[in-house]
Amino acid sequence: MNDKKIVKQLIKNIAFFGDAEAKESGRVYKDAYQIAQMLAEEGFTIVNGGGPGVMDASTKGAEAVGGETLAVTFYPKDAPGFEGRYIGNIVDVEIKTTNYIERMFKLLEHADMYIIFRGGSGTVSEFGTAWVLAKLYYGHHKPFILYGDFWPEIIDVLRKHLSLGGDEMKVFEIVERKEDIIPVIRRFEKKMGR
């Protein structure tokens, strides 16, 4: 069986988490766009929350090369601080949910792994939830990539001040260069295929 078939069986859907306020002219948006484009060319389905910023960038990057896209959305009521569904983020499949919590868990459910970019409190909640689920279900967990050169400092601070270690430090990798993403995915698949 060749590597491409293994990729499609073990990791197919990749969710993008990150800053909803990332501007098209900014580095985070451009990185998300280019990474989604690269992954879509490899046959991965790009999953996001249907909003602006990193979510929009990942959809547009995938769509630019004819890739598959899926969004899990909700239309906020009484949540003026939430971006909601972004009209410009047009995906192949949309799953509508009723609130933020349901949306987050559906995003986690519909992806086989996650890439987490620079973001705000929403990204922190997604990161924390993905991390605790990976720890709880270690061995049957969904891995994730922390993308950006700022992550080592954040992880160092968390390790210094929290009780972290063991398996929970094995469920993610920090990646600072786009070209390292596919090799990291292959390593995750190798571990998952044991």
Is pLDDT of 6 > 60? no
In a domain, 133, yes or no: yes
Say if 193 falls within a structural domain.
Answer: no
- Residue 3, in any domain of the structure: no
Cβ neighbours of residue 42 closer than 8 Å, sequence gap 6 or more? 7, 182
What is the per-residue pLDDT for 124?
A: 96
Domain for residue 121, yes or no? Answer: yes
Domain count for the chain, please give it. 1
Domain, as residue range, for 133: 13-187
The mean per-residue pLDDT over the stretch 25-37 comes to 98
pTM of the model: 0.90
Token pair, residue 6, equals 């293994």
Has residue 93 been placed in a domain? yes
112: CATH: 3.40.50.450
Whether pLDDT at 85 is above 70 = no
- Distance linking the first and last C-alpha atoms of the chain: 15
Give the separation between CA 43 and CA 54, rounded to whole angstroms. Answer: 20
